[in-house]
Each structure stands twice: as structure tokens, then as C-alpha cells.
């Protein structure tokens, strides 16, 4: 039995594109909140295979999505590298800011082994999925993970991390190399455990000069893909350089990814015209429209479907599901994309 998502990633254009949503595994679902309440903290949640597998499967059971996205976090890799990561409610991830001197002390060898409980989650999910459903594993893009490690938390401009890249080029190169090595090993482990597709979330690709983008995003992504392929992993790789603007064109052409995800602001029809011929595109419904619902959501879904015509397309959001999204809105979009009568409220 074929998987609709894998068919599109192999270059086929479907009458009704396969659909899944970034951040679909949790937060807006009551069944997720119930499991989340049983975990000591967020990190413990991510490293508990039974709990993580359960919430990964929940959106498949409720919405019949075409793909499950592994429940984990892009900041597990720094834990493997020996850094402490905490999540504070209402704040987000908190790390001790990394200095140039700290980089030589990162525990690169065996980093992925120290977070290997995630592979057990992958295996449990794959065993629990129907054969026509796709399991997506992922890692954070090295630059995005580096910004958190350097700044200690998320920030609007990433100026501290950018300054670090300008003022400490060798230290930044060493940090990216550590992240490339550990992230590639992490993806290889997920693929071996049963992930059908791999994704690289470069969530903070915006606001970089072309020179920095090449150095901080394109080159590390090339290196991850190269290492994964050298290990004999042939599974499709989706790249998501969120907010990269025109830099995304070079990303698509130069990183050897299989498919590219488009952020909310990217005009899908114009974007497709700039990509390698036949490259599948994922995206890019506005998450705000999903929150609003009603006629605004209907029009937004129609526009994405229209603009993405003309090539392989995976329907998704331009970013991720937020905790306040209504279950009825998600179900309406799934029905709409599949050609059923949607109930927009």
C-alpha cells in the first residue's frame, strides 16, 4: 500500500494533496493535555517513549492526517551535547548562554546516543501507524539551534547570535560543525528506527544577509544531508528555511533536499517557478486563519490549493498549530483539502 505523502515526495502530483500540520501533535487537543499532565516536565515528556508515541499518534486517530510528526523538540540535540535545557511555562526554552570557550567542551561524540530514547519513540509510532501513513522525523537546523545555545532563549532579532557569528567566526564554525555532526547522527538514528521522511526545521532563517545565510544555513544543511546520505539513508528530506525570503531559492537549489516547506508569507505560485523542476512544495496556510475559522479560513484554504497547483504539493501550515486552535477548524480544513464537504464555523 502506497503512502500519499511519499508519492508526492517522489514527484507525483495528487488530485488532493496529502495533508498534515506542523505542531499537530499536541497543545490544542484535550487528549494531549491529559498525557502532558502526567509528565514531570517537558523534557521528561520528550524522553518518555510511551507518552511521546501516544501524543504523536493522537492527531492521526482524530483527523486521519496523512503523516505523523514525531513528538520531540529541536533543543534535544543541545542536551546530547552536554548543555542543560529547561522549559519555563509562558517563557519557553531556557539555556545557559554558550561562550566561545564553552564550544570546545561540547560532548560531540556520542551526542545522539544520549538522546536515543527518541528512537524508541519512533519505533513505537511506526509500529502503531497504518502502512499508508507516513512518519516524519526531524531535527532543528544548526543555525536555529545555535541561536538558542548562544542567546540562552528565543529572541526577536537574534542579534546576539549574529554578532557572535561576525565576531567569532572560528568558534561559530566549530559550533555549527558540532551541531551538524550530532544532528546528522540523530536523523540517521530516526531513519533506522522507522521514520519514513526526515525534516530540517531552520525556524530562524529570516533576517540573514546572503553571506551569513550561505555560511550559517546553506553550508550546514548541505553537510547534514551529505552525512545522512553517506550513511546509506535514502529517505526524503524536507527543508524548512522559515522566513528566508529570496534566500530560500538558493537553499532549494544547493542543499540537496528533496522538498521545501514554504512559510506563511511565501507566494506559492511564484515560489514554485524559482525551484528545481519538479521539486515538491509543502505549505502554507496562515496559522492565524486556522485560528479564526469560518469564511476567512475557507478562502485561505482555497487560495493555497489554487496557488500550489502545477506540481507536487503537500498541504500544511506556514508555521504551526497554536494551542487556541479549534478542533472543528482543523477537521474542516482536512475535509476541504480531501474534496469533502467542509463544515466551517
Catalytic residues: 23, 27, 36, 73, 148
Cis ω for the linkage preceding 298 (within 30 of 0): no
Cα distance between residue 95 and residue 89, in whole Å: 14
Place of cell 568558534: 171
User: With contact defined as beta carbons under 8 Å apart, do 105 and 82 qualify?
Assistant: yes
User: With contact defined as beta carbons under 8 Å apart, do 63 and 17 qualify?
Assistant: no
End-to-end CA distance of the chain: 35
Cis ω for the linkage preceding 284 (within 30 of 0): yes
User: With contact defined as beta carbons under 8 Å apart, do 325 and 333 qualify?
Assistant: no
Three cell numbers, residue 240:
524548512
Cα distance between residue 81 and residue 118, in whole Å: 15
User: With contact defined as beta carbons under 8 Å apart, do 25 and 129 qualify?
Assistant: no
In the chain, DSSP finds a helix count (H) and a strand count (E) of 16, 9
User: With contact defined as beta carbons under 8 Å apart, do 285 and 333 qualify?
Assistant: yes
Amino acid at each position: 500500500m502506497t503512502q500519499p505523502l511519499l508519492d508526492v515526495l517522489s514527484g507525483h502530483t495528487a488530485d488532493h494533496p496529502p495533508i498534515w500540520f506542523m505542531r499537530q501533535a499536541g497543545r490544542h487537543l484535550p487528549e494531549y493535555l491529559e498525557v502532558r499532565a502526567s509528565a514531570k516536565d517537558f523534557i521528561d515528556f520528550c524522553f518518555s517513549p510511551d507518552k511521546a508515541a501516544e501524543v504523536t499518534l493522537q492527531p492521526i486517530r482524530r483527523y486521519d492526517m496523512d503523516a505523523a510528526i514525531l513528538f520531540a523538540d529541536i533543543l534535544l540535540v543541545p542536551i546530547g551535547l552536554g548543555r542543560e535545557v529547561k522549559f519555563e511555562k509562558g517563557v519557553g526554552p531556557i539555556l545557559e548562554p554558550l561562550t566561545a570557550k564553552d564550544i570546545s567542551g561540547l560532548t560531540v561524540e556520542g551526542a545522539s546516543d544520549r538522546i536515543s530514547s527518541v528512537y524508541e519513540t519512533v519505533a513505537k509510532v511506526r509500529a502503531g501507524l497504518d502502512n499508508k501513513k507516513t512518519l516524519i522525523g526531524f531535527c532543528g537546523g544548526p543555525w536555529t539551534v545555535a541561536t538558542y545555545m548562544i542567546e540562552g532563549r528565543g529572541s526577536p532579532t537574534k542579534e546576539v547570535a549574529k554578532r557572535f557569528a561576525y565576531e567569532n567566526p572560528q568558534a561559530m564554525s566549530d559550533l555549527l560543525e558540532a551541531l551538524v555532526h550530532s544532528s546528522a547522527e540523530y536523523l540517521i538514528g530516526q531513519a533506522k528506527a522507522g521514520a519514513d521522511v526526515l525534516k530540517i526545521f531552520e525556524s530562524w532563517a529570516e533576517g540573514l544577509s546572503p553571506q551569513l545565510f550561505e555560511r550559517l544555513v546553506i553550508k550546514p544543511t548541505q553537510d547534514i544531508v551529505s552525512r545522512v546520505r553517506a550513511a546509506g539513508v535514502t529517505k526524503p528530506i524536507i527543508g524548512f528555511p522559515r522566513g528566508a525570503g529570496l534566500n530560500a531559492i538558493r537553499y532549494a537549489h544547493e542543499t540537496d533536499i528533496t522538498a521545501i516547506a514554504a512559510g506563511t508569507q511565501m507566494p506559492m505560485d511564484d515560489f514554485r517557478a524559482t525551484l528545481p523542476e519538479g521539486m515538491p512544495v509543502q505549505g502554507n496556510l496562515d496559522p492565524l486563519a486556522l485560528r479564526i475559522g469560518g469564511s476567512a479560513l475557507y478562502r485561505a484554504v482555497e487560495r493555497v490549493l489554487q496557488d500550489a497547483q502545477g506540481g507536487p504539493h503537500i498541504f500544511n501550515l506556514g508555521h504551526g498549530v497554536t494551542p487556541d486552535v479549534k478542533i472543528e477548524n482543523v477537521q474542516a480544513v482536512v475535509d476541504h483539502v480531501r474534496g469533502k464537504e467542509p463544515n466551517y464555523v
